[in-house]
A and B are shown apart, each in its own frame.
Chain A
């Protein structure tokens, strides 16, 4: 099932990349057609807009595969970490088995999203001790899923910041251009 989800993530990434390539190809041609016969300043502005869009496309092309890979990897790590939390929890064994089945079902239902596993723990046990143990387990499990989802953004976030910094180079060069 994870493999299927991984493939689904790859398909989304592939679609995004193709859309980006298509956008880049069409945009430059349309811009050139729209600006033919115009004043030099207008043409310069057109190239500026084209360059900006090309930058967006390059950014998407660079970030998308990294992000889709990371989200699949982090999902895998988060589920493993969550499994460890369930296995090592102090919840009574038979209740733990019941919860594990409900959590697995919940994870299946929440495809493509950061799962909210709270409903898998309903109804909460009436016994005060078991109630506290189950609530603690629920919080620890949700924390692991949140950690995985958050960390999946980190490398692509860093790369986007780097691309942002690289944009300083053309900004610096543009200061020397006389219009």
Chain B
């Protein structure tokens, strides 16, 4: 094989290898091998048949996150990470230029949406929903975030708040 032919084989071989590499990458699903897109928090998400206080609290938290995230124009996941610690909340507010008042309004709106969703899912009796809405409309920001952020705390709060009435609540829950 002369030199010219050998160089031609090398160039063609390199092109074939390069095209094959890209082709195999695409054929193996490389173009769509991306992280899942997060869902629009403004779209309603059906509750997953919660049973017992723990699961109701979890669904309540998720609904509240959706509602607040929708108000703020961010994803539910971004807001969940932001509310994890006071430091992450500060960074989030700075990054998205959100004031305390705006965050408080959004979190309260989220909690109200959670009450609506709980009522719609049959997880919360309308007798309890009405006063709960009234309470949530004026709840302080830190307390609202604690409610939205920590299911365990929420459960403890519910138990502490209800005291002897807890057994009554259990009867109203599905």
Contacts and interface: CB of A to CB of B under 8 A. Distances in A.
B80 A78 contact: no
Interface string B144-157: 00000011100000
Contacts of B128: none
Nearest to B62: A87
B55 interface: yes
Interface stretch (A47-55, A118-126, A144-152): A144-152
Contacts of A165: 15, 18
Interface centre among B15, B18, B76, B77 (most CB of A within 10 A): B77
A151 B36 contact: no
Given A147-B34, A171-B11, 7 more contacts: A1-B88, A80-B38, A80-B81, A84-B36, A94-B152, A165-B15, A165-B18
A108 to B, nearest CB: 11
Interface centre among B33, B39, B91, B95 (most CB of A within 10 A): B33
A89 to B, nearest CB: 10
Given A93-B57, A171-B11, A3 B95 contact: yes
Interface of B: 11, 15, 18, 21-22, 25, 30-31, 33-39, 54-55, 57-58, 62, 65, 75-78, 80-81, 84, 88, 91, 95, 150-152
A165 B22 CA distance: 12
A31 interface: no
B173 to A, nearest CB: 15
Contacts of A158: 22
Contacts of A161: 18, 21-22
A92 B15 contact: no
Interface of A: 1, 3, 74, 77-85, 87-88, 92-94, 96-97, 104, 144, 147-148, 150-151, 154, 157-158, 161, 164-165, 168, 171
Contact of A80 (B75, B88, B95): B75
A80 B36 CA distance: 9
Given A3-B91, A84-B39, A168-B11, A97 B34 contact: no
Contacts of B36: 81, 84-85, 144, 147
Contact of A83 (B15, B18, B81, B95): B81
B76 A74 contact: no
A81 B35 contact: yes
B18 to A, nearest CB: 6
Given A83-B81, A168-B15, A92 B54 contact: yes
